[in-house]
Amino acid sequence: MPITLSSQAVRRTALAGATVALSITVAACGASFDAQTSKPYQAAEGTNAQSGSINVRNLLVLASEDGKGELHGAIVNSGQSDDKLVSIASAPADPNAQNTSTEQAGSVTIAGLKETDLKPGTSYTIPPADGAPVTVTGGKPGQMLKVTITFAEAGPLTTSIPVLTTDHYSPSPRPDTEKEG
């Protein structure tokens, strides 16, 4: 005896099949080569940059409201030959920057960094565990400071680094307070 389905059962089966097909199609749209989950993500607060085989990792400034702070980060030589960290200095702010409130204003000074050998496969931490901190004056929390990092062999690297509060919070830039008068 053949099995016959009612018209309602046929509609339910067709609807279930269409739902499964649609859900597979929609799920496939988010899994293309340009899906957000396939893109690199930097979980650190600081800036990452690279010049040849030299990698700068999580570079940032921790500063107080008066603009006195310290530089923190790591520099890794992933190459096969020796290099040397020569300097880290403030670079001129970009005059074409659209959001000038976060660009550095005035003079920023970076002091206390010593030339350091970067052996292959090693990491140099700023501030060094056995040395004095690298001081930064003139950068206030909420700003981005443009710096140039110079190496003996790798090319110079210019990048922007964030200034956070000393307790590692990143405040939103705030407008200057209006003077009453």
**For 21-32, what is each residue's pLDDT tens digit?**
888 777 766 666
**pLDDT(180) > 50:** no
Whether 115 contacts 137, CB under 8 Å: no
Secondary structure (3-state) at 138:
coil
Based on the fold, state whether residues 106 and 81 are members of the same structural domain: yes
- Surface-to-core class of residue 42, CB atoms within 10 Å of its CB (0-12 exposed, 13-18 middle, 19+ buried): exposed
Asked whether residue 180 is domain-assigned, the answer is no
Based on the fold, state whether residues 93 and 14 are members of the same structural domain: no
Based on the fold, state whether residues 15 and 71 are members of the same structural domain: no
In this structure, of 44-48, 92-96, 102-106, 145-149, the range with the lowest mean pLDDT score is 102-106
To the question of pTM greater than 0.75 for the whole model, the response is no
Tokens encoding 155: 């090319």
Asked whether residue 181 is domain-assigned, the answer is no
**pLDDT(18) > 70:** yes
Asked whether residue 62 is domain-assigned, the answer is yes
Asked whether residue 178 is domain-assigned, the answer is no
Compute the distance between CA of residue 106 and CA of residue 20 in angstroms, rounded to an integer.
61
By residue range, what is the domain housing residue 58?
47-165
Based on the fold, state whether residues 98 and 30 are members of the same structural domain: no
Compute the distance between CA of residue 78 and CA of residue 52 in angstroms, rounded to an integer.
9
Domain count, the chain: 2
Based on the fold, state whether residues 139 and 77 are members of the same structural domain: yes
Based on the fold, state whether residues 99 and 68 are members of the same structural domain: yes
**pLDDT(56) > 70:** yes
Residue 63 makes CB contacts below 8 A (sequence gap 6+) with 69, 70, 136, 139, 140, 141, 163, 164, 165, 166
Based on the fold, state whether residues 123 and 80 are members of the same structural domain: yes
CATH number at residue 99: 2.60.40.1890
pLDDT attached to residue 6 = 78
pLDDT attached to residue 181 = 42
Whether 136 contacts 19, CB under 8 Å: no
pLDDT attached to residue 37 = 66
Based on the fold, state whether residues 15 and 91 are members of the same structural domain: no
Based on the fold, state whether residues 77 and 161 are members of the same structural domain: yes
Asked whether residue 109 is domain-assigned, the answer is yes
- Mean pLDDT estimate for the chain: 83
Compute the distance between CA of residue 55 and CA of residue 156 in angstroms, rounded to an integer.
12
Based on the fold, state whether residues 65 and 140 are members of the same structural domain: yes
Most confident of 30-39, 88-97, 138-147, 169-178: 138-147
Based on the fold, state whether residues 102 and 143 are members of the same structural domain: yes
